[in-house]
Amino acid sequence: MFHIRTRGLLLDPSPGGSFAEDEEHMRLINRLAASPLERDQVYIRSMYLCSSQVCETDWRRFSDRALEQIRDKVVGESVLAGHDKRSLPVARFFKARIVERPEVPDPETGAPTRWVRAWFYWLKETQGARDLALNMDGGIYREVSISWRYRGGRCSLCGRAPRSCAHVPGEVLDGARCFIWIDEVVDVLEGSLVYRGADRETGIAGERHHGVSESGVDLERLLLFEAPLLVGEEARP
């Protein structure tokens, strides 16, 4: 079992929902809330958590099965701000679905990519709640990192276990890119909101191109925030 994470995921800023959708959301939220909440007590937003694309940071790719496991496991997990695991969660995921996004085609096949879209809520009456909403809707908080754990994995070129073959993830062999298929996600630990002063295009590209297209400032911030995360995770039993 390994601990790794991916990042560069785009917040969906559209807060609106139909009456029926609001009712469904409140039913799901109230499964998690200790005392019943009304619609006007909560902010609700959603994010595209991860996709069927190859992640160019670690050359891993979720299979359909893995995406479904993430969809199922993320509900009830925490949304953190700024990767700070020492602080309490700022929001909680309450619903997730697999959606196709034709506007983000697969670079190889041109087919729509598949994403886990996750909805989360937080309480309006809490300190900083409105700032969080303003920062999300205003495009300041655009992305998240997720922490997840998986088991196994297989080489995209030969199907063998990672590191048991001669193929190197990220390398191109006879026109085919080597990456690691992830079929079994055992845990989704949390999602963290990330400040990033990028435009929409960079935000979408983030998952596929981060590490290449990111500015030095982004990378520096990422490292700063992720160092304590690593320590925290590895201390887990």
- 160-189 residues in contact with Zn ion (CB under 5 A) are 165, 167
Buried/exposed 174-198: b ≥16 CB within 10 Å, e otherwise: eeebbbbbbeebebbbbbbbbebeb
Using the rule CB under 5 A, is 155 a contact of Zn ion?
Answer: yes
- Distance in Å, CB of 158 to Zn ion, minimum: 3
Q: Which residue has the tokens 């996750």?
A: 118
Which residue, 158 or 219, is less far from Zn ion as judged by CB?
158
- Distance in Å, CB of 164 to Zn ion, minimum: 8
Q: Do 63 and 69 form a contact (C-beta atoms < 8 A)? A: no
| Listed residue (158, 151, 152, 139) closest to 204, CA to CA | 139
> Amino acid identity of 84?
D
Which residue, 104 or 155, is less far from Zn ion as judged by CB?
155
As a dihedral over the C-alpha atoms of residue 43, residue 48, residue 49, residue 52, rounded to 10 degrees, the angle is: 160
Q: Do 188 and 70 form a contact (C-beta atoms < 8 A)? A: yes
Cβ contacts of 48 within 8 Å, gap of 6 or more: 9, 10, 11, 12, 101, 115, 116, 117, 118
- Distance in Å, CB of 183 to Zn ion, minimum: 15
Gyration radius of the chain's alpha carbons: 18
Stretches 51-59, 81-89, 156-164, 185-193: which one binds Zn ion (CB under 5 A)? 156-164
Q: Out of 88, 158, 186, 219, point to the residue binding Zn ion (CB under 5 A).
A: 158
* Bridge-based pairing state of the strands 141-151 and 184-195: antiparallel
- Distance in Å, CB of 167 to Zn ion, minimum: 3
- Distance in Å, CB of 175 to Zn ion, minimum: 15
Count residues binding Zn ion (CB under 5 A). 5
- Distance in Å, CB of 211 to Zn ion, minimum: 22
Which residue, 134 or 173, is less far from Zn ion as judged by CB?
173
Q: Do 25 and 119 form a contact (C-beta atoms < 8 A)? A: yes
Which residue, 93 or 150, is less far from Zn ion as judged by CB?
150
Q: Out of 49, 157, 188, 229, point to the residue binding Zn ion (CB under 5 A).
A: 157
Which residue, 13 or 170, is less far from Zn ion as judged by CB?
170
- Distance in Å, CB of 50 to Zn ion, minimum: 23
Which residue, 98 or 165, is less far from Zn ion as judged by CB?
165
Q: How many Å apart are CA 62 and CA 188, to the nearest integer?
A: 13
Which residue, 169 or 203, is less far from Zn ion as judged by CB?
169
**Which parts of this chain interact with Zn ion (CB under 5 A)?**
155, 157-158, 165, 167
